[in-house]
Structure 1
Amino acid sequence: MKQLYGVIGCPISHSLSPAMHKAAYEELSIKADYHAFHVEEKDLKEAVNGIRALGIRGINVTIPHKVSIIPYLDEIAPLAEEIGAVNTVVNDDGWLIGYNTDGEGYVQGLLPVLTKDLAKMRTLIIGAGGAARGVSLTLAKYGAGEMCITNRTESRARQLADDCNRLTRATALPLERAQAELTGFDLIINTTSIGMAPDSNRMPLSLETLPRGAIVSDLIYTPLRTRWLQVAENKGAIIQNGLDMFVNQGALAFEKWTGQSAPKETMKKKVLEKLGGTSC
């Protein structure tokens, strides 16, 4: 009998997770299947009960359920609790444990492209939502040096900076000041949806004063190259899209569910195949 896994969200039909995980099962000859489940917000509690009742071994969680699912779980891993969001659930004989693999997945993809020690870099994080929290707190745990957080709503940026300050030096910057100080950053990360298809020409900040050699990172992977990344590359920056984060967070979930090392290259190849392109 096949073990069942899946992802819940609303909407969910666009998800590439089923193709990615099925490719991993096939690669390792694991008898399992993975499905996308459309779950309305009003039905979330019943859906979680269904995970237990049906014996679904693991579930990924995406928008809009990453926060609202927490009260229905039996245990929350420390990092997920600190971030305040869950993207992976492990069903251990009916005991549901929530994890957050987004930040770890992002950092795993970032480290290979760094040109110097993370502790010596000045980082600008654009956004203060759930994705920003995962990325920021994980970067701080990895020993990031000075971090600046900018967001349209300044109070949210200040709150996230305060949370990160327990681990590293973090400050909140108004968008205008972040723009003015762009030349002083080694690493610039867009955690917002600005630039995502179909509005891929929008940019979270102007890159007019971007320093050559800076790393410009975007959590977006549809399209694989936003206009923001294209402009950054033309100015001599090292660019990175969100593909590695997506694959790595999925691989971490896979390993929690199966206890086996995930075939990341196979997973990445499948996602690229579905996207019809090549990575940065």
Structure 2
Amino acid sequence: MKIVVIGGTGLIGSKVVANLRQGGHQVIAASPATGINTITGEGLAEAMNNTDVVIDLANSPSFEDNAVMEFFRTAGANLLAAEINAGVKHHVALSIVGVDLMQDSGYMRAKLVQENLIKQSGVPYTIVRSTQFLEFLAGIANQATQGNEVHISTVQFQPIAADDVAAFVTEAALAAPINGHFDIAGPDRYIASDIVAQYLHKTNDPRKVISNGEAQYFGAQISDTALVPAGKAKLGAISFEKWVSNSLQKA
């Protein structure tokens, strides 16, 4: 099959591209750096020619509310229009577990708009909703740092390794469209402040985690269970302990 991976040079995209190429598929790793731009439309029509599946893994360069909404609305509309013109048979997109429950967040509002564009497009689709990646733990700690303290929420948290995310996305792309979504998550559930504390301890980071008792994510008010699957989910194979051990070996 010919498969175009939008955001194919990013954290998840590069892994998905490698998985698909290993399976013998013709893959285009699409990004502005490779001359394919979903915002301007540059290179889209050419990339879609004779394409069977499109996987959208692109992310907004800015997380400011208006900018992120403009990115997902514009990129989604341009990409889906190009797919319709080319007769693409399957659109796969990576979204977020609980996205519809976290509309206090501008980023989550924009991701829900992206999902709705896909559903309304008429292109057969599969939406993979993922929990937060284990690779985000450092960034979550950094944005919550005040001096030598890291103030983290006590919401439930079930992070997944990027390798597992890529495996599930690859699997979805090679299967028939479901015209719906499914959830993926890590194998174990934690309290957010606890796993961040464990991560800092294992990486010899001296910062102290303070549980703030608030149900928040990057400043947005959420419910205690918004970040974890509400029902059945496909669970990754890589535990936090295994992931952090592998990360330290590579460092």
Q: TM-score by structure 2 length? A: 0.39
**Greater RCO, CA 8 A, separation 6+:** 2
